[in-house]
Structure 1
């Protein structure tokens, strides 16, 4: 289980650090802004989750290796040639899907390991999977993707439900769930899947 957490943490951290850095550059932020946005995206959801399920916030500082990894990734992305960045931007939704799936599963496992009820497991999955993206979008003065774009947080909730019900119990189940969540998120983007919405604009 520990190995699974570590791998999901690494995947999610890299994916969301890239996502945050790219959004920062799209909004013309400087290097410091890219670091702040990238780190907020990579770690913000986990911090909010910890607050709600009773894990000390200072555990963030025990992730020194992941913090260094995120900083290195952000710096690499920031200093890439523009041609490479434009190519990477086409993969922005894919990186976001990787982060969503990895952190949703990791957050659900965290809550399940603490013997929280299924509702808390699902909330932990959603907050860990999409919380960093919400913080990123707010800092970038964008409408949060989770609230208005293609189906997003629902897939994190699904991962939490599967883990909370005990359907996924071993490492191969978790990897299969990871692939399924990534695929569902990408299908949402490709086929423009949306939850029902209603506008009061006239």
Structure 2
């Protein structure tokens, strides 16, 4: 079972997860690149008032706040910026801003740095650290072990859907330790490092 704050969440719908404070940013980001940042943040969750009129100024105000919160510091970007004109890392930032709008407590990032350059990856890490600093939890799913090592406080290695290892940051000296462990799963025969890690938990 998958537990969040001690409660099983396996099989939950997207709506139920969102109501429970869980948001997911998928690998493809699910953004409308021809639309503005503000329209992407509020797409499907528009702020409306009397007679269903859009609260345009309120949406712009909220979009500006979210952009500041996750670290869009450049004045080049405004809520009216077209998403298609942003870089890959900046688009990921828009997707993260959309995720935290409803005060989500847990953000699941699915391969957020896939196909990004080192520069764009650094932008994503900046956004992630800003969100983490606000007290939210982040589940970072990735296959690039060096990226995972750079950003995570705790590591979970899965093998064919099962937990093979859990370890805190203090228990893993380098990304190579995690890589060695994953290679050991694929090719058993002796693992230098994590087998002897004090608090790391290896599961059969």
Q: Please confirm whether the aligned pair reaches a TM-score higher than 0.5, indicating the same fold.
A: no
- TM-score, normalised on structure 2? 0.28
Q: Which has the larger radius of gyration?
A: 2
Higher strand share: 2
Structure with bigger RCO (C-alpha 8 Å, 6+ apart):
1
- TM-score, normalised on structure 1? 0.29
